[in-house]
Structure 1
């Protein structure tokens, strides 16, 4: 892959679903389909919204190891990113990705105690396209 940042970034930006995996108390992966990230910084850092009271937030607090996956079904290609997920509840993070209409999920607005931000930081990834896979590192 000549330009991982561009190739993978374009794939991610076109998807309407992101798959996020956490680790449960028994050490097994748990995967969930979520809305795409609200914000991304290159292919290293991604921001998602979720409920503070969610099972996923609780799992990430106990074990930050995480994986996110994006799949382009039309061209049968995808990217898996491995790293750590943080649960952020500070007002700056919450305001940064808040969107009009979010009160549908968080009725008390940006200060809703059941609204938090998941920040995923990738350390490596694996890209699949044209019947082959390629592992790559994420630059600092």
Structure 2
């Protein structure tokens, strides 16, 4: 039996795509959470794989190279309603040309003057394993899948 959720999986992905900021969390070498606000994902494959651009030299890249466990939080605060979606999963650091080119934007030269192959440009690939949804005082577990169930 399928339980009715507050938002369908497709509605959740549409909500995520509409947000401008994501809070990305990893676990540092001392076992503490390390959070950073980032631009929302550049690309989402299906419902479970998210791609972010960042600096190879950043602390978050160091954190994820040490421990791939990650969380990503999306939220929207409205006058009457707050919606929050927390996703958990793993984060990979990708530095190969194809991965970087797949999310490259022409305006990225502002941050990476050497272009797509700038050594300080990399991709964070987040793969969802589960999560939680919050709205109107109610929470529920999420299990995003790439197929309808």
TM-score band, normalised by shorter chain: over 0.9
Q: Paired residue for 2:63?
A: 59
The answer (yes or no) to whether the contact 2:47–2:145 under 8 Å persists in 1 is no
| Alignment of 1:131 onto 2:137 | yes
| Alignment of 1:81 onto 2:87 | yes
Paired residue secondary structure (2:51):
strand
Paired residue secondary structure (1:101):
helix
Please give the alpha-carbon distance, in whole angstroms, between the structure 2 residues aligned to 1:5 and 1:39: 17
Deviations 1:5-48 (A, max 9, x none): 22211211111101000111110111110011000123311000
TM-score by length of 2: 0.90
Paired residue secondary structure (1:83):
strand
Give the number of aligned pairs.
140
Q: Paired residue for 1:109?
A: 115
Shift of 1:96: 0.3
Larger radius of gyration: 2
Gaps of at least 5 residues in structure 1 are: none
